[in-house]
Structure 1
Amino acid sequence: MEPIEINAGGYYLRALRADDLLDDRPAIVRAFEDPEMKRWVSDYRIADLADAGAYVRRRADEWARGVRCSWAVAEPTTGELLGEVDLRGLADGDPQAACWTHPDHRGRGVASTALGAAVRFGFGALELPRIGYQHEADNTASHRVAEKCGFRLVGESVHEGVRLLQWVAVP
């Protein structure tokens, strides 16, 4: 599948980029240096531009294989990277949404606006019957985003000693 751009109102969703016209890698490195990102997004370690480049290539490959739709949340006039939102698990029938916001842009509704647009895309264009969302129980920002986007809390679990909340959205 080719990446699809989405107009999300005050933001637009586009593929992550690292080319001559637009390079998201420096913003990705800065975001992943942030202590809050390290705390809540622990499955990626991005220390430099090479790591960020691999991250951008991985997302492009996931689009191409149809296993994840991932969007850079961008400022519409400059293209500045504000965060990322994705729908993953598309190939295995267990679609899950995820998002993060660059530390310089938190508290402005970036994540909830982007996640809402991605969920609408999942239901409308991909015809997904449901979309899950999971976060650590202590992550109050993710909790608020889930509620704002219409997810319903359906349970919790413990994984490696960490309490996780599971949410679901349906069309």
Structure 2
Amino acid sequence: MNEPFPAPVTLETDRLTLRPPTAEDVDALTAACQDPEIQRWTVVPSPYRRADAEFFVEKLAAPGWAQGSATWCVVERTTGELVGTQALSHRGPGRAEIGYWATAGARGRGLTLEAVREVCRWGFAERGLRRIDWTAYVGNEPSHRLAVKAGFTVEGVLRSWAEQRGVFHDVWMGSLLAGEAGLPG
């Protein structure tokens, strides 16, 4: 996963297209990140401004592909609507960490689970990963439930592990290994 990608990759599922963020996504990203739950459970800036979405697209997501970390906008195929983001960030030889958020309108519809499964499938099958890590701030029950449904094994709590806007939080840590949950290994 530490090797750069020759080009960004688009993934598709029955209901979703996962594609690299572009300038055309800035308004939708800005609107989505006004959601207090996204700001509560992620490291997106708060308050979230249009300039933050531009920075995300231009300075984080686009260069990340060249560094071996992948970021996607998750778009519902039937509507073309942004329903979330997914990222698979390089964390060492054969290892990456998945990150995701979903818009308020997408929650509870199984879309993020579908996207997580596709990203993990791709990471194992196409990038040769042996392990994908998942972390979430302790208390983020929706992320915890989704990770378990996706086949992640929750391994424990890492105390004072993750920094968010100057505050350190305990996090749940989990993993999915190649070959688990019916994914190719």
Same fold (TM over 0.5): yes
Q: Which residue of 1 aligns with 2:123?
A: 122
Cα contact 1:29–1:46 (8 A) shared by 2 = no
Q: How does 1:64-83 map to 2 (within 5 A)?
A: 64-66=66-68, 68-83=69-84
Cα contact 1:27–1:81 (8 A) shared by 2 = yes
Following superposition, the deviation at residue 77 of structure 1 comes to 3.6
Q: Which residue of 1 aligns with 2:145?
A: 144
Q: Distance in 2 between matches of 1:125 and 1:99?
A: 20
Aligned-pair identity (%) = 31
RMSD over equivalenced CA pairs, Å: 1.6
* Runs (4+) off by over 3 Å: 43-46
Q: Distance in 1 between matches of 2:47 and 2:72?
A: 18
What 5-or-longer segments of structure 1 have no aligned partner? none
TM-score, reference length from structure 1: 0.89
1:8 matched to 2:9? The reply is no
Q: Distance in 2 between matches of 1:44 and 1:9?
A: 32
Q: Which amino acid aligns with 1:61?
A: P
Q: Which amino acid aligns with 2:116?
A: L
Identify the range of structure 1 (93-102 vs 128-137) with the bigger mean alpha-carbon deviation.
93-102
- Note the alpha carbon deviations across 1:99-156, whole angstroms, 9 max, x for none: 0001222111121111110000000000101100000121110011101110011121
> Which structure is richer in relative contact order (CA contacts within 8 A, separation 6 or more)?
2
Q: Which amino acid aligns with 2:72?
A: W
Secondary structure of the 2:33 match is helix
Q: Distance in 1 between matches of 2:46 and 2:57?
A: 13
Q: Which residue of 2 aligns with 1:63?
A: 65
**Equivalent residue pairs, number:** 165
Q: Distance in 1 between matches of 2:30 and 2:44?
A: 15
Q: Distance in 2 between matches of 1:134 and 1:108?
A: 22
Cα contact 1:136–1:165 (8 A) shared by 2 = yes
Q: Distance in 2 between matches of 1:45 and 1:85?
A: 20
- Say which structure is richer in strand: 2
Q: Which amino acid aligns with 2:35?
A: D
Q: Distance in 1 between matches of 2:131 and 2:147?
A: 14
CA gap 1:76/1:131 in 2 versus in 1, 3 angstroms:
same
Following superposition, the deviation at residue 43 of structure 1 comes to 4.7
Cα contact 1:46–1:52 (8 A) shared by 2 = no
Q: Which residue of 1 aligns with 2:135?
A: 134
1:169 matched to 2:170? The reply is no
Following superposition, the deviation at residue 45 of structure 1 comes to 4.3
What 5-or-longer segments of structure 2 have no aligned partner? 161-166, 179-185
